[in-house]
Chains A and B, each alone.
Chain A
């Protein structure tokens, strides 16, 4: 049975918005991206509803829209967040309790805003969508090696790479 656009939106809009927020790191941009994509999807819904997985199709549209978005929001956000990160790092203590985990998650979220769009997308697809590198490569339109390179650089920029992980990524790239 074919799902109507309205049924699709009722069932999946919340999930799409969450995905867009994680992908963009920006509530307003997430809203813009999802609105744009769904408006286009509605106009061509007959075709999309015939796809093997309409949701995968639309999520891919969201990814493409984010990667091709033309706005100078990134540069502005990077500088603002970068300044805050310095303060956060200086204030960071050595203990690790639940409150610290919450702070860490916020801090990491802010650091993610400093990444380039493809680097961030790779991390989201890997760790939020839990996709394999080959699938990510297909979605982004590059090779799996390039995906690993993006991920490696992103983890390094986020200061999440241990020596062992450095070696692992070096082996992956060789």
Chain B
């Protein structure tokens, strides 16, 4: 009798050659990577205007996306190159280029924001870091050394916990299919998420495991 390990291994190995053409995949990767780089710079451009306003005042305490402690002191950025005029779009672009050219990335910007007690759009942090690099300053961390935000064990950890709760309660895929029909969710996976959410909230599901 064939062991289930061997059966599964055989099934996997027999079908792994269905893999798509690597050359085609690589070409698409290059296209996507260019898009991501453009998006990153676009996000920085949006943040740059906020930074400029902060520079005029000589200090910034950026609201919003990056959360610092509620009592976190505003970080004094330092005098801008030209206090009477905000940096132009071209100048901001130079700051961002300097930041990336030095090898820094998104995670580094998060770490710099933490060190500098900045709160606000991460793009503004990159721009500020780039400005400092162009001014000949050394940043407090080396490029690419900040703790990584990716890959996490599961990008949707709350959702993963809900699915775990679903299975832990004894439900399985077939139950999810039934629940998906009952709840009219888009697919069984969403039913697992919804079911897990209800179980974690102490509710019971309309079917038994």
Contacts and interface: CB of A to CB of B under 8 A. Distances in A.
A81 interface: no
B25 A13 contact: yes
Contacts of A61: 150-151
Interface in A101-153: 101-102, 104-106, 108-109, 112, 114-119, 123-124, 127-128, 138-142, 146, 149-150, 153
Interface stretch (B67-75, B157-165, B198-206): B157-165
B137 interface: no
A35 B8 CA distance: 26
B90 interface: no
Contact of B156 (A39, A68, A105, A138): A68
B18 A27 contact: yes
B157 A141 contact: yes
B25 to A, nearest CB: 6
Given A128-B12, A157-B172, A31 B167 contact: no
B5 interface: yes
B37 interface: yes
B25 A118 contact: no
Interface string B6-26: 011111111111111010111
B89 interface: no
Q: Chain A binding site: helix, strand, loop or mixed by DSSP?
A: helix
User: On chain B, which size bracket covers the interface?
Assistant: 35 or more
A75 B188 contact: yes
Q: How large is the interface on A (under 10, 10 to 19, 20 to 34, 35 or more residues)?
A: 35 or more
Contact of A18 (B5, B16, B25, B189): B16
B187 interface: yes
Nearest to B100: A43
A22 B4 contact: no
Contacts, number: 176
Contacts of A44: 105-107, 150
Contact of A39 (B16, B32, B188): B32
Interface in A3-60: 9, 13-14, 17-22, 25, 27-28, 30-31, 34-36, 38-40, 42-44, 46-47, 50, 57, 60
Contacts of A74: 187-189
B15 A109 contact: yes
B25 A17 contact: yes
Contacts of B178: none
A16 B29 CA distance: 13
Nearest to B28: A35
A43 B8 contact: no
B144 A46 contact: yes
Contacts of A115: 173
A152 to B, nearest CB: 10
B19 A21 contact: yes
19 contacts: A13-B25, A14-B22, A17-B22, A21-B15, A36-B32, A38-B25, A40-B150, A43-B105, A44-B107, A47-B105, A60-B151, A61-B151, A75-B188, A105-B15, A108-B11, A114-B173, A116-B176, A140-B154, A140-B160
Interface of B: 2, 4-5, 7-20, 22, 24-26, 28-33, 35-37, 40, 103, 105-107, 143-144, 148, 150-157, 160, 163-164, 167-168, 172-174, 176-177, 180, 186-189, 192
